[in-house]
Amino acid sequence: MQPYGDNFILVIPVDFLLHEPDRPFCYDMTCGCKRNERLLWEVSRYIEEGSMTLGEGQAFVAGRTI
Ligand SMILES: [Zn+2]
């Protein structure tokens, strides 16, 4: 039996995998989620409320896990 992997071409439906309710931003800086005003507004609210620092908010939008 061949192990999986060598000839496996990874085709990921990006929108499906990378945008989750608790992680709405992916790491593709050209993706539309970076310009989603409602999501950006929510992040700015977290920062204003103090539940995120500005750096954390920027990392969140950039798709990096906090
Ligand atoms: Zn995205």
As given in the structure block, the two tokens for residue 5 are 């992997």
Give domain status of residue 58, yes or no: yes
Give domain status of residue 4, yes or no: no
pLDDT by residue (tens digit) across 2-60?
555 566 555 555 555 578 888 889 888 899 999 999 999 999 999 999 999 999 999 99
**Cα distances (angstroms) measured from residue 15 to each of 7, 33, 43:** 24, 10, 20
The rounded Å distance from CA 31 to ligand 1 centre is 4
pLDDT of residue 21: 82
Give domain status of residue 59, yes or no: yes
**Contact indicator for 1, 28 with CB cutoff of 8 Å:** no
The rounded Å distance from CA 3 to ligand 1 centre is 32
Q: Residue 44: helix, strand or coil by DSSP?
A: helix
Ion ligand 1: residue ranges with CB closer than 5 A: 26, 31, 33
pLDDT of residue 10: 57
Give domain status of residue 40, yes or no: yes
As given in the structure block, the two tokens for residue 49 are 């409320």
Residue closest to 32 by CA, chosen among 45, 14, 46: 14
